[in-house]
Structure 1
Amino acid sequence: MNKPIGDLHCHPSFKPCNNPDISDIWTYKKNIHPKDLFKGILGVSPRRWMVNLFVKDLATYTQSNLDSCYEGDNRLLFLSIYPIERQFLRPDRPFASSTFVQRFILAQVFGIELKRHIDSRIIQILTGFSSTKVVDYLKSVYDSEYVDYFKTDFSLEYKYINQSHLSCSPNAEDNVATFQLVSNYEEYAALRNQNIIAGILTVEGAHALGEYNSKDLVGDKMIDDLSEENKEKLKASFIRNISALKDKEQFEFTPFFITFAHHFNNLLTGHAKSFGEAKNKSMPGFSNVFNQKNGLDLGISDFGKQLIKSHLLSRHNGQRILIDTKHMSLQARNDYAAIVKALRDEGDAMPIVISHTAINGISTRAKAAERLDTNQLDKKSYVSRWDINITDEDIREVFDSNGIIGVCMHDGRMPGGKFKDLLKSYKKRWPQKEFISKLHTQMFLTNVFHIVKVNLDHIRTLNAQIPIEENRIPEVQAWKTICLGSDNDGIVDPFDNFNTASTLKDFKTRVKNAIDMNFDPLWKRFKILDIKEENYRFFNENEITELKLGLTSEEIVDRIFSDNIETFLSTYFVRAYLEGTEN
């Protein structure tokens, strides 16, 4: 239980890199409040109130600043560099897909008059960026012919993180920890037992590597469908920038993996719907404000496949960069699974990474594709059934590839309607912190035990085909693919009482205690749930014992919060694997 915590996906540099008011990567900072940001603007009172409603569930403060990480025993960070997508800065005016009442509300919040002036303030609230930085971004949205994410956004955040390398906290007298980036597992292992917060670079969104014509970013085409001139220029930018990333003279710390898709069309691959629907016909949701329809649910483009196989995964042009399938559409995951299978058939060990996700309890991607991502789909479910969450098929493929799954802590994407109703009820009737904490711990463990159950069933199916007992897969390996992927500082709706990295040590302890107390009468409302394709129920005691596979609760939480990431790194973050020099 004293092992340091690893987090497969977080964004410590996202806010401070874009806001000079945040002094450094260590320091906690709250975003400016809507009531202060909208002073002096026409219609301030209704707009301020409406904006507050719109953002009230988001974490409008730093979550993974390094002082918070240190306090929460978070000592291994996968720092995800995220160039904010320009579509995220461009509300979908005139909000044609919304109801009349929703359009009226959105017109008040995102008024046509003073359009950029209003947008800049709302973006500041959502992101924690400074007003100067937001104005610069808006200029690139409306006034620039090209958006060069790599040169302007990625390189800026990379430089910020690199300048934070070997820094110490300026705030706490007893915190003498140093932040240190590492290039491989060998460097990380050398830091063990030292007072170090280790950092491994990753990237969220393949758009980070491209130079786009601005008009193409808001169109509905994929890269292979662009004009010949725009297509060739964009393709060349991706190839050029990947080569630069793998050149140690230009970038000392090559990212370990890249989340290939994200919220919007990057012209390379289809994405899954990630923005919530409106809760009712009056109050709009994120999906009413930002248009994700272009590229939604498509597969990986021909050039996207080429980029993955011949440039990112290739070791002929430098260190391999793995692919993270989070945010990929169902079809894109099908396409990538085929790429991984072909590589494995050739003897190339290729792990599937899903850095920050949750389960949907659906057996296959084909079945998931039969349903639309709506509130109605989730209404009677404990977990969200949306495509962005992983099916049992995804879980099995990660296991077969010796990959890893980061389970997130996200009230926006994890829960179905039943959980949301329970949470609302507890906040109203029993607002004590303890009840809500138990409910979120239950959600996390329900995800964890579902993954283990799918893995165990899969292992037993595979072992039934292996006649020699000593060649069979040990069943305890059902626990090997799970870790934490918080998505802290990723513009998220976090668990109420576990909303910064400073709470992770407490959360880890609560997860252990929840396993121990699962069948205690005091825990009867918060027992771990068995998620079925169409319903759910509580696991019984024999089932939980079977799924624990002889592990103690302490051994289980060590695997989730520490050991599995360490094992994964010791296999795929070593020089020999990254550079292709294995014997």
Structure 2
Amino acid sequence: MKPIFDFHCHPSLKAFLTHHDPDKRQSCWEEHPESLVTILNSQSSLNQLKKGNVKLAVAAIYAIERPITASFWIQYLAPAISPLDPKMVKLSTEANYFDLMLEEIQHLEKSSQYDPANGKTVRFLRSMDELQDDFPGINLLLSIEGGHMLEDFGKKATDNLRKVKRSHYPFLYLTLTHLTQHPLSTHAYGMKLIKGNDAFKPKGIGLRQGGKDIIDLAYDDTQGRRILIDVKHMSLVSRYELYQYRQEKGYDDIPILATHVGVTGISWDPQVITRYLDKKIRRQGDYYQVFYKQPAGISAPKETFFNPWSINLYDEEIDIILNSGGLIGMNMDQRIMGADKVKAEFYSGEELSFILSGYQDQSKLFDYVEQEFEDEEDDQRFLTLHRKLHLCHFCNNLLHVVKVGGERAWDQVCIGSDFDGLIDPINNCNNATELPRLEEELIELLPTMMEADPSYSYDTSDIEGKVRKLMYDNAVVFLKKHFG
């Protein structure tokens, strides 16, 4: 079986939440019992990574944000139908995020020597020189998902980032923001499970000075190991300002990462964005609810669509990331890939005004209806368990990156599954054990979808080699250059 790479998965998150007593927590090798709620099923336990021959992965470390732990779904329902310990939910509301991050890493480290005789072992790579073909276990790097993870009562986020950079743990990247409001940067709306809490709705505009300070320190290799910045979860305006800030600071030689994303299928030009708006924008206080018509993708062998939420990449960003020498990780979430009905997205008023004014004026007025936000019905088109339909949506996103970025994109894409990040995975690849089969299915389907797309002339040679790059080789080349 060929080796696999995953740019963003959570092998320790669910195990870490199973008990408040560190000695009684599930090992990161264990899998949760099957649940009818698919997002609660194990997707990237160390055992599943091993079965899927994931030889190299980035383990995203994440402390659940307090607005999430305060929800009924997490406090009461999830513990009733899964091994989640309610006391861990309470702990997340009381403890500081930085300590929780370190504790989760320690739990992952504790699980490393599970069964060495049978290859069930984990090694944290300190440099790519340590990557050995004959190592039977899993090689891990680490990432920090969300700038909130640098918060510690009475301490500066920059001080904690310095600790991270100088620690013996191999951190590759920082995802600057996540699912809730945070002072470093406005986030893109991404919460589908919990409604009615304004903390999940974007507030303010763009990249703040505190976020710029974190970026400067992360990139500074004189103060410890360089940590790259992941643009996932940043709002469109925050990303737009990040790209400008990098130019101003001369960071052009440092790669931009988009570690677990889909694509919108459209330009960030406001005239193009407004073409896909459906219904009038709705306003309630400082927040705006925006409805979309889904951009159509490749139509054969199955009809596909994109998800135009601003959490996904716009066409211009694909070029910016590729030009930086960066890497784009393709997500496994049905919703991100456009295989789900796209519901309404929320924006802050300042950001929506800035975008629709052509990135010039955050006070520009636009037509809206001021009333209660609207709930939406499920679209019957998307209520299907069809595996091939979901595979087509994954291919559609991947091929759009190639269409926009050119054939060079085949050298700068990889898998960024987000397994165990509370996602509903595409039905053709439910967990890490199915990644080898995904490789086979991509080799079979991609030529058909390339031929069905009249808008671009793809290079259809060596599909097997292109897919192998996606599944593993690109990551190794990238990490040897940027991780030592």
For 2:390, give the aligned amino acid. Answer: H
Distance in 2 (alpha carbons) for counterparts of 1:289 and 1:122: 17
Equivalence for 1:67: 47
Whichever of the two has the greater Rg, that structure is 1
Q: Which residue of 1 aligns with 2:417?
A: 486
Letter in 1 for 2:32: K
- The Cα shift of 1:421 comes to 4.2
2:103 counterpart SS class: helix
Deviation at 1:163, TM superposition (A): 2.0
**Equivalent in the alignment of 1:404:** 327
- How many Å separate the matches in 2 of 1:182 and 1:417? 37
2:348 maps to 1:444:
no
Deviation digits for residues 326-373 of structure 1, max 9, x if unmatched? Answer: 000011101211232234x46x61101001000101112655775569
The structure 2 residue matched to 1:26, chosen from 15, 29, 33, is 29
Q: Unpaired runs of 5+ in structure 1?
A: 34-55, 92-109, 111-117, 141-146, 213-232, 277-285, 428-435, 457-475, 519-526, 530-537, 575-583
How much has 1:131 moved relative to structure 2?
A: 2.6
What amino acid is aligned across from residue 8 of structure 2 in structure 1?
A: H
Cα root mean square deviation, aligned: 2.7
Deviation at 1:416, TM superposition (A): 5.9
Alignment partners' CA distance in 2, 1:184 and 1:481: 20
What is the CA–CA distance in structure 1 between the aligned matches of 2:220 and 2:80, rounded to whole Å?
A: 40
Write the deviation string for residues 392-444 of structure 1: whole angstroms up to 9, x where unpaired. 011001111000110011112221667964442x44xxxxxxxx221111111
Partner-residue secondary structure (3-state), 2:292: helix
| Structure 2: gaps of 5 or more residues | 282-287, 297-304, 343-378
Q: Distance in 2 between matches of 1:550 and 1:511?
A: 13
Letter in 2 for 1:401: S
- Once the two structures are TM-superposed, the CA of residue 380 in structure 1 deviates from its matched residue by 6.5
1:300 pairs, out of 194, 203, 207, with: 207
Per-residue deviation, residues 62-113 of structure 1 (Å, max 9, x unmatched): 110111111112111100000110111223xxxxxxxxxxxxxxxxxx4xxx
Shift of 1:482: 0.9
Question: Which among 136, 158, 183 is matched to residue 239 of structure 1?
Answer: 158
Q: 1:74 to 1:290 in 2, by over 3 A?
A: farther
Q: In terms of mean alpha carbon deviation, does 408-417 or 506-515 score higher?
A: 408-417
Q: CA separation in 2, counterparts of 1:22 and 1:501?
A: 22
Q: Please state if 1:570 is matched with 2:480.
A: yes
* Amino acid of the structure 1 residue aligned with 2:393: M
Which residue type is aligned with residue 192 of structure 1? D
Superposition map of 1:407-446 within 5 A = 407-415=330-338, 421-424=380-383, 426-427=384-385, 436-446=386-396
Question: What whole-Å deviation, never above 9, does each CA across 1:225-283 have from its counterpart, x for those lacking one?
Answer: xxxxxxxx5xx421221121122xxx31141101111000121100001023xxxxxxx
Distance 1:443 1:78 in 2: 24
Q: How do residues 454-493 of structure 1 correspond to structure 2 at under 5 angstroms?
A: 454-456=404-406, 476-493=407-424
Does the aligned pair in 1 maintain the 2:150–2:157 contact within 8 Å?
A: yes
Match of 1:334 among 216, 240, 251: 240
8 Å contact kept, 2:177–2:234: yes
Question: Conserved in 2, the CA contact under 8 Å of 1:201 and 1:256?
Answer: yes
Alpha carbons of 1:294 and 1:568: their partners in 2 closer, same or farther (altered >3 Å)?
same
2:438 to 485, 498, 507: 507
Distance 2:390 2:40 in 1: 20
Whole-angstrom distance in 2 between the partners of 1:22 and 1:368? 49
Change (3 A) 1:379 1:30: same
User: Residues 210 and 406 (structure 1 numbering): CA distance in 2 closer, same or farther, change over 3 Å?
Assistant: same
| Matched residue type, 2:103 | L
**TM-score when normalising by structure 2:** 0.81
Question: One-letter code of the match for 1:324?
Answer: D
Q: Deviations over 1:515-562 (max 9, x none)?
A: 25x2xxxxxxxx469xxxxxxxx414xx67x32x35312112101111
Q: Is the 8 A contact 2:294 2:306 kept in 1?
A: no
Q: What amino acid sits opposite 2:160 in the alignment? A: N
Residue 394 (str. 1) matches residue 301 (str. 2): no
- What amino acid is aligned across from residue 301 of structure 1 in structure 2? R
Residue 314 of structure 1 aligns with an amino acid whose one-letter code is D
User: Deviations 1:89-142 (Å, cap 9, x if unpaired)?
Assistant: 223xxxxxxxxxxxxxxxxxx4xxxxxxx862224369852133223334x2xx
Matched, 1:252 2:168: yes
SS in 1 for 2:56: strand
In 1, Cα distance between equivalents of 2:423 and 2:289: 19
- Given that 1:30 and 1:60 are in contact with CA atoms closer than 8 Å, whether structure 2 keeps it comes out as no
SS across alignment from 1:246:
helix
Paired residues of 1:80 and 1:201 also in contact (CA < 8 A): yes
The sequence identity of aligned pairs, in percent, is: 26
Change beyond 3 A, Cα 1:119–1:478: closer
The question of whether the paired residues in 1 share the 8 Å contact of 2:7 and 2:57 is answered with yes
Please give the secondary structure, in 2, of the residue aligned with 1:8: strand
Closer, same or farther: CA 126–321 of 1 in aligned 2, 3 Å: farther
Query: Do 1:365 and 1:393's aligned partners in 2 also have CA atoms closer than 8 Å?
Result: no
Relative to 1, partners in 2 of residues 1:448 and 1:497: Cα closer, same or farther, differing over 3 Å? closer
AA in 2 matched with 1:439: L
SS at the partner of 1:88? helix
> For residue 177 of structure 2, what is the aligned residue in structure 1?
261
| Contact 1:90–1:290, Cα closer than 8 Å, also in 2 | no
8 Å CA contact retained: 1:361, 1:385: yes
Distance 1:154 1:443, change over 3 A: same
1:513 Cα shift?
Answer: 1.3
- In the alignment, the residues of structure 2 paired with residue 394 and residue 5 of structure 1 have an alpha-carbon distance, to the nearest angstrom, of 26
State the distance in 2 between where 1:385 and 1:405 align.
17
State the alpha-carbon separation in 2 of the partners of residues 128 and 199 from structure 1. 25
**Residue 330 of structure 1 contacts residue 365 of structure 1 at CA under 8 Å; is this kept in 2?**
no
> For the structure 1 residues 295 and 289, does the alpha-carbon distance in structure 2 shift closer, same or farther, using more than 3 Å as the test?
closer
Answering whether residue 260 of structure 2 is matched by residue 356 of structure 1, we say yes
- Secondary structure of 1:377's counterpart equals coil
What is the total number of aligned residue pairs between the two structures? 425
Task: Give the structure with the higher percent helix.
Answer: 1
Counterpart residue number, 1:150: 98
